[in-house]
Amino acid sequence: TRKVWLYFLRSKDQTFDRFCEWKELVENQQNKKVKCLRTDNGLEFCNLKFDAYCKDHGIERHMTCTYTPQQNGVADRMNRTIMEKVRCMLNESGLGEEFWAEAAATTAYLINRSPASAIDHNVPEELWLNKKPGYKHLRRFGSIAYVHIDQGKLKPRALKGIFIGYPSGTKGYKIWLLEEQKCVISRNVLFHEESVYKDTIEKERVVESEAEPASHSKSTLIKMKTPGNLNSGGVIQV
């Protein structure tokens, strides 16, 4: 089906545990067994623990030859595709590199819901679940969003943030709140998709340049703390 799963690891030592989780997930969803695993010769895949697990579960191992990435071309090309899209999304939105993981997760989410030429322009998610996915909830990555809150009659009714993705297992949106410097998940969100975070920075420059004398004019960028749950290691595709 060419469906993509994306896992973020703090270290390659977590690869085995994530593979076991993925195996249980796909076998439960499809009522089929994983019969073959194709990987490169990285030590996270080639070790006694991994080999013993595959042997015990009847999983055949296919490993690529050294310096021959084309033998695992599907996975390697997908990794490249994801990172190319991540660069474009971060550049277009104006978000910093600390949001690369959220951009990558959003990319995988969209790839699974887009027609693929390798499967006759079918949609991976549709082939996997045997039903058409929805599209009405899709939003522009990095766009300005206002999260509805209820914190008293005289308090603001919404907090300004940036849309950074779709949470797994929840019908809502992931929003990075600008002033609070934290991520929240909510379904009560008003989107302004005509504007992205980069536009907010440019407006900030204009306001500051107009407020200061011409001889001392300067511009500053909004400094954003790194979300603790975002920058969590490397991207590994199973």
Domains and their CATH numbers in the chain: 6-134 (3.30.420.10), 143-216 (no CATH)
Which has the closest alpha carbon to 107: 143, 145, 78, 76? Answer: 78
Which has the closest alpha carbon to 95: 191, 201, 166? Answer: 201
Query: Parallel, antiparallel, or unpaired: how do β-strands 158-165 and 143-148 relate?
Result: antiparallel
Bin 173: left if φ > 0, else alpha if -120 < ψ < 50, else beta: beta
Mean pLDDT value of segment 149-174: 89
Note the pLDDT of residue 234. 41
Q: What is the DSSP letter of 79?
A: H
Q: Report if pTM > 0.75.
A: yes
Kindly calculate the radius of gyration of the chain based on its CA atoms and give it in whole angstroms.
22
Mean pLDDT value of segment 101-129: 97
Note the pLDDT of residue 19. 98
Banded pLDDT at 225 (limits 50, 70, 90):
low
Which residues are 62's β-sheet partners? Answer: 38
